[in-house]
């Protein structure tokens, strides 16, 4: 079995309903929503939002010890116009501007926003990565 793989990414959120509503406003559809967690199907993996309290209980740690870490999540698009449209939709849905999409020194185009819990997303067009018709890297 390959070891360099991810099957689940889970983000802690203060308000699960707010997170589900925000991601719904940008077009995401959950596969399962429970009291403390929501899951989304992601092409062979799962992406989840877990209440901070539930995540802390699962880890047997206090909520204050969870931290946030320095990381970003990314989504690539085939064109700059699609980056702009998706970025504008995220901001309209309640995201916070970090950096607006712009041309990047390495030849791509990207911008960053934060979701209502502060998780930072990069929306990008990378001319060196091909996407299939479903938006998956090839």
Higher pLDDT, 137 or 125: 125
Could you tell me if 121 and 135 lie in one domain?
yes
Could you tell me if 54 and 96 lie in one domain?
no
Could you tell me if 44 and 10 lie in one domain?
yes
30-80 tens-digit pLDDT: 999 999 999 999 988 999 999 999 999 998 999 988 877 778 999 999 999
Phi-psi region at 74: left, alpha or beta (left = phi > 0; alpha = psi -120 to 50)? beta
At 119, the pLDDT band (50, 70, 90 cuts) reads very high
Q: Show which of 67, 87, 104 is a domain's final residue.
A: 67
Distance set, CA 114 to CA 75, 89, 105, 122 (Å): 13, 13, 22, 9
Domain range holding 29? Answer: 1-67
Q: Show which of 42, 67, 92 is a domain's final residue.
A: 67
């Amino acid at each position: 079995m390959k070891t360099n793989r991810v099957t689940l990414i889970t983000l802690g959120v203060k308000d699960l309903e707010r997170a589900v509503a925000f991601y719904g406003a940008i077009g995401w559809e959950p596969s399962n929503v429970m009291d403390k967690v929501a899951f989304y199907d992601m092409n062979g993996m799962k992406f989840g939002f877990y209440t901070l309290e539930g995540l802390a209980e699962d880890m047997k740690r206090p909520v204050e010890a969870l931290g946030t870490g320095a990381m970003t999540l990314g989504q690539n698009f085939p064109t700059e116009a699609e980056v702009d449209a998706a970025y504008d939709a995220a901001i309209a849905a309640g995201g916070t501007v970090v950096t607006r999409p712009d041309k990047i020194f390495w030849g791509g185009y990207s911008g960053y926003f934060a979701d209502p819990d502060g998780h930072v997303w990069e929306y990008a067009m990378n001319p060196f990565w091909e996407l299939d018709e479903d938006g998956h890297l090839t």
